[in-house]
């Protein structure tokens, strides 16, 4: 099956690594999509074959020998439509029109978002709706810092002082959910089809169905509402190659599960109306009503801070700035650390699935070949040695296979976790950016009062509110740290456990092979 | 240290294998001699660096920054001198003049022998003195097949019928010897120096000293005397680079030990006067006398067959030819098998000492870097995770080192054994060639009688003698098979045993690293 793809970015092959140098705009043929570790194998027009990072390519839509299903559902071109808010007919549209139902405000997003923004686990930035309200397009945090009336009522978000410092209010039982059972659905008499996932929350234990586009809608809502205070990680990739293949569906489900788990774990996100709607809507009517309500929510962007109530004295502006600097440094350093692991892991993946098993296979074959030569000697008493050598050769072939399959058992999870964190860390510059802008605004306080831009009372309010923002940022960082410690403990344990099993199995196989040789 | 070398043969780098393409005659700079596995790292005149097989290069003698010792003892150019047989002054010459004391007969050898022939373990042919006696230069086996008077007396070599067929007469106790204690000796007031090895035979338990050139003399004698019937493997390499370095001396000693062990194990070779002289000479006078006697030995070349006495009925010429064909096929097939293992092993060696440990090191560093980022979080309760991650990182650095050092513990011996067999198998075409020539001569029997070239009686004698030759070849093949089964059993056991230890140690290290993570 000739599977053409277009190169999105230049990629220079590292010599001796079985990679293929490609240029932006070049058309290549995908020869193997199942390399794993973020690689695909492709052939260029000169017939050269090699590995290319899968992020660097996009399916051309020049699909030959492909089923009608694929053809119809494949996103040929990113289409950005602006639909009327709450329009009925966007409800069950298929994935390819990729509707953003955030309404006419999304203008500024249409350029860069879509494919790029939704780099999923690989994405590295989120788009916060700072300019949701006309007139404040360039002065995001002011909207909150200087607003007259704050939100009241049930939506208040308290912050407590915990052992580690400011913390969000955590529920007694942590919400959880299971994403499972992906099913192909279709509409328009089978001409349009999609994958529907079943999501079962631990609270109700009642499954609801959602398509990827619903997840996407949820993501947009969460980003609008919480993005200024809480990094909302991108959804997993809108992958372009082979989207209906089993492996892809499995991988997407795994990543959607990871994303949902992270959202469930967040006390603020998981408790929000929109998230609860997504998990527990009763029927289509319920869903539509809730959807419209969520889309009309005005406590979005920086206004989220207006709902936050720290139970602690106001912070000194210098401390606010120091904390912010510290978080900025940390997240940048961790971003580097995570990317290093991903780079190393990607290289290791390639070696473990390519040259290394090939070599073990050749060792195995060489032993077996020599064994069969020995068998032809005509000398008596040959078989004890040749049986043992053949067994040893076969053992190395088995080891070859184990080596090739191992990354999917351990490195995969290490990569997935670090990919998730790469996505998450990519959101921090925006969140911290809002914070820094607010700090700058507060610093200008005296000047603004002097030039009568604001009243002295407003200056006091600004300082108080930037303190609230700082509490929110600290609570969020503490949430991040606690999750990070949990996640890395878990993934390192899993990785090392599987590695131990792997080496122990090899040792046991070789011990068995060894026992077949006679001691003379 | 700029260490220049000359390229002996073209070598084309395999892409992606960190190899360097070199042309015959090219001068390269050796940048690392300690790669192992038959590789050295070198730089060409264009500054490109990569691996080159060490067999493919020869030291130029353009040595910079090298000690006087090296400079003086390094073989600058192969020098082939013809000295008078038994001349006194060749006795303690240093290695560089590389004298062949086989006298004026060595003419035909001087061209190709030396560096090439003594490819040592890597060599693949031996030079049998078929033309030792003028007038028979092109009709080797005839010398024996048609000679009037056979050797008599104590030098008879019986062949018995054993369980596996014709076998040499084996001694009750197998001779063995230990090559040890290499010492630098010098002469000419310290201007010329050499390495002297101590050889202690199991029979006398009294050590004798020999230099490499004495081993070489012994090799020449054994080749002259037994080469038509018994494959005499070449001596280990006359290595050109770094000959006085500790590692080289150790390696040469190990290979001389291997060569001596093989000779000791051979019932015919080990029982010969010249071999006994080498192992048990009492003093310099004893040595010189024995040396001269050995050099005058006339039972050399095909005449060795005149001493062989099989205790079995004459063989049918058709059976003789079939056996010969069978041995020829087997040794050629085994030669291929052995070379395949060597090629694969050499590749594996390179990967295990190069890219693989580098990758484990990078994984280890990546874990440690992330751990130290975590440490900077300012979040409390960080240390359990960071300590565990640092330990895991260090474990991967340890694994990197283990991987890099492992080939010396197992692959080395597998390579050495196969190298030895490659050398041994390279001798068979000559041995079998003598045999085939004899068979052809016997086939011409009727024609030779008809044209009165030989008498009818001589035709009968020829058939009888080719049967003797066949018994010798069969005895030798049986000796070879029995040794081969022993050697491969032993080396495979050693290899697998070390591999088991290696993987078990890694598993244990990782289990230890795993235990440091907390279960939360």
Q: Does A313 touch chain B (CB under 8 A)?
A: no
A330–B16 CB contact, under 8 Å = no
Q: A4 and A62 in contact (C-beta within 8 Å)?
A: yes
B489 lies in some domain? yes
Instruction: Identify which of A485, A506, A514 has the shortest CB distance to residue B497.
Output: A514
Higher pLDDT, A244 or B54: B54
The string of pLDDT tens digits covering residues B251-297 is 889 999 999 999 999 999 999 999 999 999 999 999 999 999 999 98
- CB contacts, 8 Å: A511 with chain B: 496, 500
Which pLDDT belongs to residue B151? 63
For the beta carbon of residue B207, count every other beta carbon within 10 angstroms. Answer: 15
How far apart (Å, rounded) are the C-alpha atoms in residues A243 and A235? 15
Residue B283 has a pLDDT of: 93
Residues of B in contact with A489 (CB under 8 A): 385, 388, 517-518, 520
Q: Which of A376, A478, A517 sits opposite B493 (nearest CB)?
A: A517
pLDDT tens for each residue of B61-119: 433 333 333 333 333 333 333 323 333 333 444 433 333 333 222 223 333 333 333 33
Q: What is the CATH number of the domain that holds A499?
A: 1.20.1270.60
Which B positions 462-501 lie with beta carbon below 8 A of chain A? 477-478, 481-482, 484-486, 488-490, 492-493, 496-497, 499-500
Q: Does A415 touch chain B (CB under 8 A)?
A: no
Q: How far apart are CA B195 and CA B185, in angstroms?
A: 6
The answer to whether the annotation marks B213 as part of a ligand binding site is yes
> How far, in Å, CA of A26 to CA of A188, rounded?
35
CA A112 to chain centre: 18
Q: Do B489 and A388 touch (CB under 8 A)?
A: yes
Which residues on chain A are in Cβ contact (under 8 Å) with B330? 373, 376-378
A159 DSSP β-pair partners: A168, A310
Q: Report phi then psi at B79, rounded to 5.
A: -115, 125
Average pLDDT, chain A: 82
Would residue A159 count as lying in a domain? no
Q: A287 and A192 in one domain? A: yes
Q: Which of A229-238, B264-273, B348-357, B471-480 has the lowest mean pLDDT?
A: A229-238
Q: In what order do the strands lie in the sheet with B157-162?
A: B165-168, B157-162, B308-310
Given this model, what pLDDT does residue B16 score?
66
CB-based burial, B148-179: b 16+ in 10 Å, e otherwise: eeebeeeeebebeeeebbbbbebeeeebebeb
Q: B59 vs chain A: nearest CA distance in angstroms?
A: 29
pLDDT digits (tens, 9 = 90+) for A104-146: 222 233 333 333 333 333 334 455 544 443 333 334 788 888 8
Instruction: Read off the tokens for A149.
Output: 């009336």
Residues in A 335-354 with any Cβ partner in B closer than 8 A: 336-338, 340-341, 344-345, 347-348, 351
How far is the C-alpha of B250 from the C-alpha of B256, rounded, in Å? 10
Verify that A301 and A328 share a domain, yes or no.
no
Q: Do B15 and A17 touch (CB under 8 A)?
A: no
Between B163, B385, B500, which is nearest A510 by CB? B500
Q: Is B47 on the interface with A (CB under 8 A)?
A: no
pLDDT at A447: 92
Mean pLDDT across chain B: 82
Q: Output B403 or A48, whichever has higher pLDDT.
A: B403
Mean pLDDT computed over A62-89 = 32
- State whether A490 and A345 are in the same domain: yes
Residues A392 and A341 placed together within one structural domain of the fold: yes
C-alpha–C-alpha distance, residues B308 and B475, integer Å: 11
Q: Is the pLDDT of residue A11 over 90?
A: no
* Distance between CA atoms of residues A25 and B82, nearest Å: 71
State which of A49-58, B9-18, B287-296 shows the largest mean pLDDT.
Answer: B287-296
| A371-380, B8-17, B327-336, range with the lowest pLDDT | B8-17
Pick from A195, A197, A153, A163: which is nearest to A179 by CA? Answer: A197
Q: Are residues A274 and A330 in the same domain?
A: no
- Tell whether A106 is within 8 A of chain B (Cβ): no
Mind spelling out the 3-state secondary structure of B371-413? Answer: HHHHHCCCCCCCHHHHHHHHHHHHHHHHHHHHHHHHHHHCHHH
CA A63 to chain centre: 27
Share of residues in chain B with pLDDT > 70 (%): 81
Q: Among candidates B470, B461, B462, B468, which has minimal Cα distance to B431?
A: B470
Cβ contact A301:A224 at 8 Å: yes
* Cα distances (Å, whole numbers) of residue A278 to A210, A258, B245: 8, 16, 74
Among A356, A385, A499, the residue to mutate for chain B (most B Cβ within 10 A): A499
pLDDT band of residue A6 (cuts 50, 70, 90) is confident
Q: Which structure tokens are listed for A357? A: 């098993």
Residue A40 contacts residue A30 (beta carbons within 8 Å): yes
CATH number at residue B178: 3.30.1520.10
Mean pLDDT of B36-44: 82
pLDDT at residue A458 tops 60? yes
* ipTM reported for the complex, 2 dp: 0.79
Residue with tokens 């300019």: A131
Residue with tokens 């002259």: B224
Q: Is residue B216 part of a domain?
A: yes
What's the whole-number mean pLDDT along residues A498-514? Answer: 98
* Interface membership of A367 toward B (CB under 8 Å): yes
Rounded CA-CA distance A265/A268 in Å is 9
A24 vs B: CB within 8 A: no
Q: Does one domain contain both A366 and A276?
A: no
Please determine, for residue B149, whether its predicted confidence score (pLDDT) is greater than 60.
yes
The owner of tokens 């686990």 is: A121
Which residues on chain A are in Cβ contact (under 8 Å) with B366? Answer: 337, 340-341, 344
Of A16, A348, A511, the CB nearest to B16: A16
> Number of structural domains, chain A?
3
B388 neighbourhood in chain A, CB within 8 Å: 489, 492
Q: Which of A227-231, B147-151, B179-183 is predicted with the least confidence, judged by mean pLDDT?
A: B147-151
The answer to whether residue A512 sits within a structural domain is: yes
| CATH code of the domain containing A41 | 2.30.30.40
Q: CB–CB of B37/B408 below 8 Å?
A: no
How does pLDDT run across B209-229, given as a tens digit for each residue? 999 999 999 999 999 999 999
Instruction: For residues A343 and A38, give the distance between their C-alpha atoms in angstroms, rounded to a whole number.
Output: 10
Nearest Cα neighbor of B186 from B236, B251, B244, B114 is B244
Task: With beta carbons under 8 A apart, name residues in chain A contacting B374.
Answer: 334, 484-485, 488
Contacts of B224 (CB under 8 A, 6+ apart): B102, B129, B132, B297, B300, B301
State which of B59, B74, B95 marks the end of a domain. B59
Residues A344 and A323 placed together within one structural domain of the fold: yes
Among chain B residues, the shortest Cα distance to A165 is held by: B379
Check the annotation: does B501 bind a ligand: no
Any domain includes A67: no
pLDDT in tens, B157-200: 999 999 999 999 999 999 999 999 998 887 777 777 788 999 99
Q: Give the integer Cα–Cα distance in Å for B301 and B133.
A: 9
Domain boundary among A20, A44, A59: A59
Separation between Cα atoms, residue A13 and residue A6, nearest integer Å: 17
Beta carbons of A514 and B506 less than 8 Å apart: no
Same domain (yes/no): A268, A394: no
Q: pLDDT tens digits for A395-454?
A: 999 999 999 999 999 999 999 999 999 999 999 999 999 999 999 999 999 999 999 888
**What per-residue confidence (pLDDT) applies to A16?**
67
How far, in Å, CA of A266 to CA of A222, rounded?
Answer: 12
Instruction: Give the tokens for residue A118.
Output: 């939704």
- Which of B330, B344, B396 is the best mutation test for A, with the most CBs of A within 10 A? B344
Q: Provide, rounded to the nearest whole percent, the portion of chain A with pLDDT above 70.
A: 81
Q: Are residues B482 and B360 in the same domain?
A: yes
Question: How far is A22 from A28, CA to CA, in rounded Å?
Answer: 8
Q: Is the model's pTM score more than 0.80? A: no
Test A362 with B347 for CB contact under 8 angstroms: yes
Burial class (CB in 10 A: 0-12, 13-18, 19+), A416: middle
Higher-confidence residue: B128 or A310? A310
**pLDDT, average across residues A55-69:** 52
> What number is the average pLDDT over the span A22-43?
84
Residues near B389 by beta carbon (within 8 Å), at least 6 away in sequence: A488, A492, B367, B368, B370, B371, B374
Q: What is the pLDDT of residue B128?
A: 52
Q: Where residue A519 falls among pLDDT bands split at 50, 70, 90?
A: low
For residue B486, the chain A residues in CB contact (below 8 A) are 520
User: To the nearest 10°, the Cα dihedral for A71, A73, A74, A78?
Assistant: 140
Asked, for residue B379, whether it belongs to a domain, the answer is yes
Residues A178 and A209 in one domain: yes
Q: Which of A319, A485, A495, A516 to mutate to test the interface with B (most CBs of B within 10 A)?
A: A485
B473 to chain A: which residues are within 8 Å by CB?
none
Rounded Cα distance between B51 and B407, Å, is 17
> What is residue B41's DSSP assignment?
E
- Under 8 Å between Cβ of A81 and A99: yes
Q: Considering B312, B342, B360, which residue would you say is the last residue of a domain?
A: B312
Domain membership of residue B37 (yes or no) is: yes
Q: How far is the CA of B88 from the CAs of A124, B34, B91, B93, in angstroms?
A: 83, 39, 6, 10
CB contact under 8 A, B517 and A489: yes
- Which residues of chain B are within 8 Å of residue A378 when distances are taken between CB atoms? 326, 330
Strands B157-162 and B308-310 turn out to be: parallel
Percent with pLDDT over 90 in chain B: 58
What is the pLDDT averaged over residues A172-196? 86
Q: Do residue B370 and residue A341 have CB atoms under 8 angstroms apart?
A: yes
Residue range A270-303, pLDDT digits in tens: 999 999 999 999 999 999 999 999 999 988 889 9
Percent helix, strand, coil in chain A, to 5, is 55, 15, 30
Strands A157-162 and A308-310: parallel
Over residues A177-192, mean pLDDT: 83
Question: What's the domain range around A308?
Answer: 165-312
pLDDT tens digits, one per residue of A352-378:
998 999 999 999 999 999 999 999 999
Binding residues of A: 211, 213, 252
Contacts of B518 in chain A (CB under 8 A): 489
Residue B71: the pLDDT is 31
Is the minimum CB–CB distance between A164 and chain B shorter than 8 Å? yes
For the beta carbon of residue B417, count every other beta carbon within 10 angstroms: 22
8 Å CB contact of A380 and B355: no
Closest CA to B45 of B30, B29, B31: B29
Cα A247 to Cα A40: distance, rounded to the nearest angstrom? 14
Q: Are A24 and A7 in contact (CB under 8 A)?
A: yes
| A39 in a structural domain | yes
What tokens does B369 get? 């870097």
Q: For an interface test with A, which of B503, B508, B509, B516 has the most A Cβ atoms less than 10 Å from its Cβ?
A: B503
Whether residue A319 sits in one domain with residue A266: no
Q: Are residues A148 and A270 in the same domain?
A: no
- Residue A260 or B136, more confident: A260
Residue among A432, A425, A447, A492 nearest A124 (CA) = A425
Written as one string, the DSSP assignment of A443-493 is HTHHHHHHTTSS-HHHHHHHHHHHHHHHHHHHHHHHHHHHHHHHHHHHHHH
Decide if pLDDT at B334 tops 70: yes
**Ramachandran category for residue B190: left, alpha or beta (phi over 0 → left; psi -120 to 50 → alpha):** left
Q: What's the rounded Cα separation, in Å, for the pair B338 and A89?
A: 73
- Check CB contact under 8 Å for B389 and A488: yes
Residue B131: pLDDT over 60 = no
Contacts of B351 in chain A (CB under 8 A): 355-356, 359
Q: Which of A359, A500, A520 sits opposite B351 (nearest CB)?
A: A359
Q: How confident is the model at residue A245 (pLDDT cuts 50, 70, 90)?
A: confident
The C-alpha atoms of residue B363 and residue B370 are separated, in whole angstroms, by 11
DSSP string, B175-229: --EEEEEEEEEEETTTTEEEEEEEEEETTT---EEEEHHHHHHHHHHHHHHHTTT
Query: Is there a contact between B490 and A379 if contact means CB atoms under 8 Å apart?
Result: no
Which is more confidently placed, A330 or B70? A330
What does the buried/exposed string (b/e) look like for A466-485 if buried means 16 or more CB atoms within 10 Å of the residue's CB? bbbbbbbbbbbbbbbbbebb
B409 is in an annotated binding site: no
Residue B296 has a CB neighbour count (10 Å cut-off) of 10
User: At A329, which helix (H) or strand (E)?
Assistant: helix A317-353
Q: Which residues on A lie below 8 Å from B345 (Cβ)? A: 363
Contact assignment for A496 to B478 by CB distance below 8 Å: no
């Amino acid at each position: 099956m000739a599977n053409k793809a277009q190169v999105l970015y230049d990629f220079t092959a590292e010599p001796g690594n079985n990679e293929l140098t490609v240029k932006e705009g070049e058309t290549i043929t995908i020869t193997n999509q199942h390399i794993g570790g973020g690689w695909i194998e492709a052939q260029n027009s000169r017939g050269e074959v090699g590995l290319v990072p899968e992020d660097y390519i996009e399916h051309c839509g020049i699909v030959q020998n492909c089923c009608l299903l694929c053809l119809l559902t494949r996103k040929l071109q990113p289409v950005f439509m602006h639909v009327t808010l709450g329009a009925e007919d966007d409800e069950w549209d298929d994935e390819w029109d990729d509707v953003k139902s955030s309404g006419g405000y999304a203008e500024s997003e249409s350029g860069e978002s879509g494919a790029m923004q939704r780099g999923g686990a690989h994405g590295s930035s989120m788009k916060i709706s700072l300019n949701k309200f006309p007139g404040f397009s360039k002065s995001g945090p002011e909207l909150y810092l200087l607003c007259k009336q704050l939100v009241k009522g049930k939506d208040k978000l308290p912050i407590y002082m915990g052992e580690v410092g400011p913390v969000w209010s955590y529920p007694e039982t942590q919400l959880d959910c299971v994403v499972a059972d992906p099913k192909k659905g279709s509409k328009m008499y089978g001409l349009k089809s999609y994958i529907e996932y079943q999501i079962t929350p631990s609270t109700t234990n009642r499954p609801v169905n959602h398509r990827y586009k619903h997840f996407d809608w949820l993501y947009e809502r969460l980003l609008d509402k919480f993005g200024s205070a809480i990094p909302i990680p991108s959804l997993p990739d809108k992958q372009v190659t082979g989207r209906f293949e089993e492996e892809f569906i499995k991988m997407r489900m795994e990543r959607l599960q990871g994303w949902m788990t992270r959202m469930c774990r967040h006390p603020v996100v998981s408790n929000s109306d929109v998230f609860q709607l997504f998990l527990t809507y009763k029927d289509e009517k319920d869903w539509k009503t809730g959807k419209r309500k969520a889309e009309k929510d005005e406590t979005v962007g920086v206004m989220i801070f207006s709902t936050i109530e720290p139970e602690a004295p106001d912070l000194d502006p210098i401390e606010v700035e120091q904390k912010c600097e510290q978080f900025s440094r940390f997240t940048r350093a961790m971003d580097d650390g995570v990317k290093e692991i991903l780079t190393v892991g990607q290289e290791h993946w390639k070696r473990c699935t390519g040259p290394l098993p090939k070599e073990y296979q050749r060792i195995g074959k060489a032993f077996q070949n020599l064994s069969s030569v020995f068998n032809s000697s005509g000398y008596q008493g040959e078989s004890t040695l040749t049986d043992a050598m053949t067994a040893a050769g076969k053992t190395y072939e088995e080891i070859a296979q184990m080596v090739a399959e191992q990354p999917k058992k351990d490195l995969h999870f290490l990569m997935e976790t670090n990919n998730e964190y790469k996505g998450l860390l990519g959101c921090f510059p925006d969140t911290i950016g809002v914070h820094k802008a607010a700090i700058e605004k507060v610093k200008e306080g005296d000047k603004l009062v002097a030039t009568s831009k604001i009243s002295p009372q407003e200056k006091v309010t600004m300082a108080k509110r930037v303190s609230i923002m700082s509490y929110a940022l600290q609570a969020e960082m503490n949430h991040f740290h606690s999750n990070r410690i949990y996640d890395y403990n878990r993934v390192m344990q899993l990785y090392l456990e599987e590695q131990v099993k792997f080496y122990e199995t090899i040792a046991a196989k070789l011990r068995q092979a060894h026992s077949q040789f006679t001691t003379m």
